[in-house]
Chain A
């Protein structure tokens, strides 16, 4: 044990050299077995720590560093009720007087019942793609009896994911029409992956899916600076958001909450996501209301 302690002292000293600018990383040649045998000695961790640091210096992954302790104090969630362990539910409803039937470029352009539209949007842990990216928030807007009801789910613990997905799957009716903005190539495949990973049954594959991105692009390309939802919303729908948290900051906001650092921005993510799904319904009316020759 003495020899090991000595070795670790030396390796730590080396590591100081390694972090000097431009110096090559020094990597300790400690076999995994030796580390395992030294488990009781906390300093064995420091060897691995230096390894990880050296690795990261060479391959910056820009993860959000975790300055806090490993076991954060749970923060109060910014909104909603816990409807399953690790899952919170937020519901709001707004008056939305509108024609219960809507002509949409879906199912051979026959008018469809507005009630069938299920506008959805997710907030995810990032854009890197692959199995390591997950949705931590799902928002859904649906119309009934002159009101627009927005339901949102979000995770307060990783362990809540399967429950959140099950609840969302339950919102999908057999006659639902999915409505999204770029959801066909982003949100839906991502959710399917999460369903698969959590072994949750769902009917995403069976439902018609109206993705506004392409119709909007066809209509507005060259008209506005770009076809991002925020742009279309501002220019075509005249919606102005106040204190909107850019979508790109959503992952950090949720992570700060999860790690017990701050819950402030998570409230703003909820607002942002809510506005997104409301806009999806407004966009339907806007697109349907365009003159026939402007139709998509």
Chain B
């Protein structure tokens, strides 16, 4: 009906109307609802000394005073104090750094380096700076410097750029190793702006912290100590995280002075379609249904998808509804990485001008790209952290009208956990960004790169670390030459080229589709999960479309697949053995113990099961012949002794099932706490000495395995089950230590998760799926897990 209306007239059904209609129709799908009141602005005057040119530029853009946080950032930064600004999306945070930077550039020919995690953000930032510059005739010279910058433009940028906007990878691989070409730039470098610092966590963040150490070392060579201005989304530990990245005290600005319109947020859990198996309708179908309704209601809508492929799928579904008539202007667009810049700019313009009604995007639009104001944000799946969720929800919001955000949960454990805990969205964010800049492997990589950039002297420090031993080792491998106390790079190689900031060192596997003579890469799989998902014979699914792995080239990091119509999926039979090597710390946990320390992990994939869709019958086995994955890393673990368990449980099988369920729940809550990617943190249950370990059978019940993966007898050996959570990175990446310190909280939350789940004795959202058992057995599984958690002091 609305199609017959004049499209130039916005015929809007209000957000409140949509929300109340959904609340009436689908009360059981809405697990959380928040209404955030509109908030007025808190203003501050322009700084007294603000130059007339900049004042003119701001006024030309309608800015006559500052928000309080912008003024606070200006005052601290100009006083030479490092700051981190923690404010929500669209709160005008760019002025927090642009004001001090522009004043310094114009007042004293200073230079500034801006780092953004993506190229698109960098391009936006330059566009914004140039617009401001034009408005006040400030003659700012701001340039992006990234992989797309043509070689002939680079020299001009190095010499002429006042503000160079780049990313950590370029700093690492192109700027620092060529710093003499940037000498003029470094000699005048006054400010370094690092935006989106919450995204620099885990392995990536640990690398970035070391790149910043190298940057500061090069700055010291040129006699400058720039002030850092950092920006972060709302996380639990912004100040601590900023200080870990920088290695110096940082002033945190956490109060936003920006106004915000009223906002409604819904947590949406798709309805259960198979109560026995705890299977829910897909998030995709729910997101589409919601988006269709809001777009029909003439509410400008953005849908966030988790993958590029999903963007395409959702876009197609929406276009089938709204863009089926080619004579009418386009209403729906897709936006993601991999598109040409011109196409992305076109979509951004269309969004700003309001000429399209819906956009489907990956995280590419989560960050600060300027797309104007939208009415509705629909998240197809939990983005992995509360911080990213708020960033995406923040994409909808206007001053005058209320905005709506909906987070639609998938069936993954993390999504299911989050959607049932609305309090995470209400209270302070639970997530802590963690980095481990002194992780030995990463440190060695960056000391190598740093030695290339400037010679080291014995006794120098890199971060807090004395470099001597590292230098000696690098000299022995032939890349450094020692003369007295001086160590010079000597090799004919470019070490930064071999170090990728964004992935673990071993390199990803690409999945190559060879169907019908094609050679198309359809996915990338990280090294640590390749053995589990890409063995020959495996069914590899991308958005539920199945491919079969025909050939795995382990050394070449390639898996060749063809499309298949198989009615089954495959599940690797893998054995993870852990052995405790060293205890760093420990305490009593209920009737057991909890420790933090070092472990040796061996993972072997010995074969796979073929499991039929829907019926989940096991219809066959296949062998897998792959090298063992070995890893020394850090872990935390819980143990209960034999006497306690024999007294508390009717059988050792029950106790083991309890441990496996507890591990599943603890792993889920721990991931939320440390903002971990699922692959960075792993779980396992076994003995403390690798004598035996436990796996789940196809029905979710525990099985004993001996050290070689064969069946083991639960009653013969000592029964000392141990529940591990470990860092899935050689040497550890700093996750297990903070988890150890919050172990009591984890136990409590895991217990709440198990007891609060309304499933029938085990589902993907609590202790993992338990199927095919009689109801009496099944319902006891949750209780067993709860019992183990309680014995550990939860």
Residues of A within 8 A of B (CB): 3, 7, 10-11, 14, 17, 22-33, 35-36, 39, 44-45, 48-49, 51-53, 55-56, 58-59, 61-66, 70, 125-133, 157-159, 189, 192-194, 196-197, 251, 255, 258-259
Closest CB in chain A relative to B100 CB, distance in Å: 28
User: What would 14 more interface pairs be, CB under 8 Å, given A62-B493, A66-B477, A66-B478?
Assistant: A26-B630, A36-B469, A53-B477, A61-B495, A63-B477, A63-B478, A66-B475, A70-B476, A125-B490, A132-B453, A132-B493, A193-B181, A194-B180, A255-B490
Chosen A-B contacts, 29 in total, with CB atoms closer than 8 Å, are A11-B632, A23-B628, A26-B632, A28-B632, A28-B731, A29-B598, A29-B730, A32-B438, A36-B466, A39-B469, A48-B472, A48-B473, A61-B498, A62-B492, A63-B477, A63-B493, A65-B477, A70-B472, A125-B492, A126-B492, A128-B492, A129-B178, A130-B178, A130-B452, A131-B177, A132-B177, A133-B492, A158-B481, A251-B492
| B181-A128 in contact (CB<8A) | no
For the complex, what is the distance from the CA of A192 to the CA of B633, rounded to whole Å?
45
Closest CB in chain B relative to A8 CB, distance in Å: 12
Closest CB in chain A relative to B25 CB, distance in Å: 53
| A66-B180 in contact (CB<8A) | no
Taking a contact as CB atoms closer than 8 A, the residue among B483, B495, B598 that contacts A159 in the complex is B483
| A48-B627 in contact (CB<8A) | no
Closest CB in chain B relative to A116 CB, distance in Å: 27
| A24-B486 in contact (CB<8A) | no
Closest CB in chain B relative to A42 CB, distance in Å: 10
Contacts of A22 in B (CB 8 A): 554-555, 627
Question: Among A33, A36, A49, A55, which residue has the most Cβ atoms of chain B within 10 A?
Answer: A55
B506 within 8 A of A: yes
Taking a contact as CB atoms closer than 8 A, the residue among B438, B465, B479, B486 that contacts A158 in the complex is B486
| A35-B469 in contact (CB<8A) | yes
Contacts of B178 in A (CB 8 A): 129-131, 193
| A131-B494 in contact (CB<8A) | no
Contacts of A26 in B (CB 8 A): 630-632, 730
Contacts of A59 in B (CB 8 A): 498-499, 505
| A49-B491 in contact (CB<8A) | no
For the complex, what is the distance from the CA of A25 to the CA of B630, rounded to whole Å?
8
Taking a contact as CB atoms closer than 8 A, the residue among B477, B505, B582 that contacts A52 in the complex is B477
| A48-B444 in contact (CB<8A) | yes
B232 within 8 A of A: no
For the complex, what is the distance from the CA of A55 to the CA of B493, rounded to whole Å?
14
Contacts of B441 in A (CB 8 A): 27, 51, 55
Main DSSP-derived SS at the B contact region: mixed
B240 within 8 A of A: no
| B465-A32 in contact (CB<8A) | yes
Taking a contact as CB atoms closer than 8 A, the residue among B466, B476, B506 that contacts A49 in the complex is B476
Say yes or no: A131-B476 contact (C-beta < 8 A), given A29-B634, A61-B491.
Answer: no
| B489-A64 in contact (CB<8A) | no
For the complex, what is the distance from the CA of A64 to the CA of B477, rounded to whole Å?
8
| B732-A55 in contact (CB<8A) | no
Closest CB in chain A relative to B629 CB, distance in Å: 6
Contacts of B468 in A (CB 8 A): 39
Taking a contact as CB atoms closer than 8 A, the residue among A65, A157, A158 that contacts B478 in the complex is A65
B443 within 8 A of A: yes
Closest CB in chain B relative to A87 CB, distance in Å: 14
For the complex, what is the distance from the CA of A132 to the CA of B308, rounded to whole Å?
39
Question: Among A31, A44, A65, which residue has the most Cβ atoms of chain B within 10 A?
Answer: A31
| A131-B180 in contact (CB<8A) | yes
| B483-A158 in contact (CB<8A) | yes
Say yes or no: A196-B180 contact (C-beta < 8 A), given A48-B469, A132-B491.
Answer: yes
For the complex, what is the distance from the CA of A283 to the CA of B440, rounded to whole Å?
54
10 cross-chain pairs, A with B, having the tightest CB-CB distances, nearest first: A126-B492, A27-B730, A63-B491, A193-B180, A59-B498, A132-B452, A61-B493, A130-B177, A132-B489, A63-B478
Contacts of B633 in A (CB 8 A): 29
Say yes or no: A131-B444 contact (C-beta < 8 A), given A61-B498, A158-B483.
Answer: no
Closest CB in chain B relative to A188 CB, distance in Å: 13
Contacts of B566 in A (CB 8 A): none
Say yes or no: A29-B632 contact (C-beta < 8 A), given A51-B440, A126-B491.
Answer: yes
B445 within 8 A of A: yes
Contacts of A24 in B (CB 8 A): 506, 627-631
For the complex, what is the distance from the CA of A29 to the CA of B736, rounded to whole Å?
13
Residue of B nearest to A129 (CB): B494
| B732-A29 in contact (CB<8A) | yes
Give the contacts of B623-664 with A (CB-CB under 8 A).
627-634
For the complex, what is the distance from the CA of A193 to the CA of B186, rounded to whole Å?
14
For the complex, what is the distance from the CA of A272 to the CA of B345, rounded to whole Å?
54
Q: Mark B445-464, 1 if CB is under 8 A from A, else 0.
A: 10000001111000000000
B179 within 8 A of A: yes
Contacts of B180 in A (CB 8 A): 131, 192-194, 196-197
| A58-B452 in contact (CB<8A) | no
| B634-A258 in contact (CB<8A) | no
Residue of B nearest to A66 (CB): B478
Give the contacts of B329-379 with A (CB-CB under 8 A).
none
Question: Among A22, A29, A65, A158, which residue has the most Cβ atoms of chain B within 10 A?
Answer: A29
Contacts of B555 in A (CB 8 A): 22
| A64-B491 in contact (CB<8A) | yes
For the complex, what is the distance from the CA of A125 to the CA of B731, rounded to whole Å?
34
For the complex, what is the distance from the CA of A31 to the CA of B730, rounded to whole Å?
12
| A49-B629 in contact (CB<8A) | no
For the complex, what is the distance from the CA of A192 to the CA of B730, rounded to whole Å?
41
| A66-B476 in contact (CB<8A) | yes
For the complex, what is the distance from the CA of A130 to the CA of B473, rounded to whole Å?
22
Contacts of A53 in B (CB 8 A): 477
Contacts of B465 in A (CB 8 A): 32-33, 36
Contacts of A28 in B (CB 8 A): 440, 632, 731
Give the contacts of B66-115 with A (CB-CB under 8 A).
none
For the complex, what is the distance from the CA of A62 to the CA of B498, rounded to whole Å?
12
Closest CB in chain B relative to A214 CB, distance in Å: 16
Question: Among B476, B490, B496, B581, which residue has the most Cβ atoms of chain A within 10 A?
Answer: B490
| B444-A52 in contact (CB<8A) | yes
B474 within 8 A of A: yes
Closest CB in chain B relative to A228 CB, distance in Å: 19
Closest CB in chain A relative to B600 CB, distance in Å: 8
Contacts of A126 in B (CB 8 A): 491-493
Contacts of A196 in B (CB 8 A): 180, 183
| B477-A132 in contact (CB<8A) | no
Closest CB in chain B relative to A74 CB, distance in Å: 11
Closest CB in chain B relative to A255 CB, distance in Å: 7
For the complex, what is the distance from the CA of A197 to the CA of B181, rounded to whole Å?
10
For the complex, what is the distance from the CA of A11 to the CA of B163, rounded to whole Å?
48
For the complex, what is the distance from the CA of A255 to the CA of B491, rounded to whole Å?
9
Contacts of B33 in A (CB 8 A): none
Contacts of A194 in B (CB 8 A): 180
B43 within 8 A of A: no
Residue of B nearest to A30 (CB): B440
B526 within 8 A of A: no
Residue of B nearest to A86 (CB): B483
| A52-B473 in contact (CB<8A) | yes
For the complex, what is the distance from the CA of A196 to the CA of B179, rounded to whole Å?
10
For the complex, what is the distance from the CA of A65 to the CA of B479, rounded to whole Å?
8
Taking a contact as CB atoms closer than 8 A, the residue among B469, B486, B506, B627 that contacts A44 in the complex is B469
For the complex, what is the distance from the CA of A222 to the CA of B194, rounded to whole Å?
51
B780 within 8 A of A: no
For the complex, what is the distance from the CA of A129 to the CA of B151, rounded to whole Å?
15
| A258-B481 in contact (CB<8A) | yes
| B478-A131 in contact (CB<8A) | no
For the complex, what is the distance from the CA of A14 to the CA of B180, rounded to whole Å?
42
Contacts of B634 in A (CB 8 A): 29
Taking a contact as CB atoms closer than 8 A, the residue among A11, A125, A128 that contacts B494 in the complex is A128
For the complex, what is the distance from the CA of A22 to the CA of B556, rounded to whole Å?
12
Residue of A nearest to B597 (CB): A29
For the complex, what is the distance from the CA of A143 to the CA of B629, rounded to whole Å?
66
B46 within 8 A of A: no
Taking a contact as CB atoms closer than 8 A, the residue among A14, A55, A131 that contacts B445 in the complex is A55
